[in-house]
Amino acid sequence: MKKKIQLSDHFNYKKLLRFTWPSVIMLVFTSVYGVVDGFFVSNFVGKTSFTAVNFIMPFLMILGSAGFMFGTGGGALIAKTMGEGKTEKANSQFSLIVYTSAACGMGLAAAGILFIRPLAVLLGAGGQLLEDSIIYGRIILIAIPAYILQYEFQCLFSTAGKPGLGLAVTIAAGVTNMVLDALFVAVFGWGLEGAAAATAISQFVGGVIPVLYFLGPNSSLLRLGKAEFNGQILAKACINGSSELMSNISMSVVSMLYNVQLLKYAGEDGIAAYGVLMYVSLVFQAVFIGYSVGTAPVISYHYGAGDSNELKGLLKRSLMLMGVFAAVMFAAAYLLTEPLARIFVGYDEGLFGLTVRAFGIFSFSFLFAGFAILGSSFFTALNDGLVSAAISFMRTLVFQILAVLIFPIFWKVDGIWVSIVAAEIMAVTVAALFLKIKQKKYQY
What does the pLDDT read at residue 27? 80
Residue 163: inside a domain:
yes
CA-nearest of 316, 356, 322, 320 to 336 is: 356
- Residue 425 CB burial class (10 angstroms; 0-12, 13-18, ≥19): middle
Q: Kindly report which listed range (3-12, 186-195, 279-288, 396-405) carries the lowest average pLDDT score.
A: 3-12
pLDDT 10s digits, 82-123: 888 899 999 999 999 999 999 999 999 999 999 999 989 987
Per the domain annotation, does 1 fall within a domain? no
Judge whether 95 lies within some domain: yes
Q: Per the domain annotation, does 5 fall within a domain?
A: no
Total domains, the chain: 1
Structural domain boundaries enclosing 389: 13-442
Confidence grade of residue 244 (pLDDT, cut at 50, 70, 90): low
Residues whose CB is less than 8 angstroms from the CB of residue 131 and which lie 6 or more positions away in sequence, other chains included: none
Mean pLDDT, to the nearest integer, of 323-332?
95
The pLDDT assigned to 209 comes to 96
Give mean pLDDT, residues 185-189. Answer: 93
Residue 77 has pLDDT above 60, yes or no: yes
pLDDT category of residue 260 using cuts at 50, 70 and 90: confident
CA 78 – CA 93 distance, rounded (Å): 7
Confidence category of residue 2, pLDDT binned at 50, 70, 90:
low
> Residue 424: which of 341, 359, 362 has the closest Cα?
362
Summarize pLDDT for 125-169 with one digit per residue, the tens: 889 989 999 999 999 999 999 999 998 998 899 889 888 888 899
Burial class (CB in 10 A: 0-12, 13-18, 19+), 257: middle
Give the DSSP H or E segment for 339.
Answer: helix 337-345
CA distance 21 to 294: 8
Q: Which pLDDT tens digit goes with each residue over 429-444?
A: 999 999 999 998 998 8
Q: Is 435 within the bounds of a domain?
A: yes
Question: How high does pLDDT run on average in the chain?
Answer: 89
Q: How far apart are CA 97 and CA 200, in angstroms?
A: 23
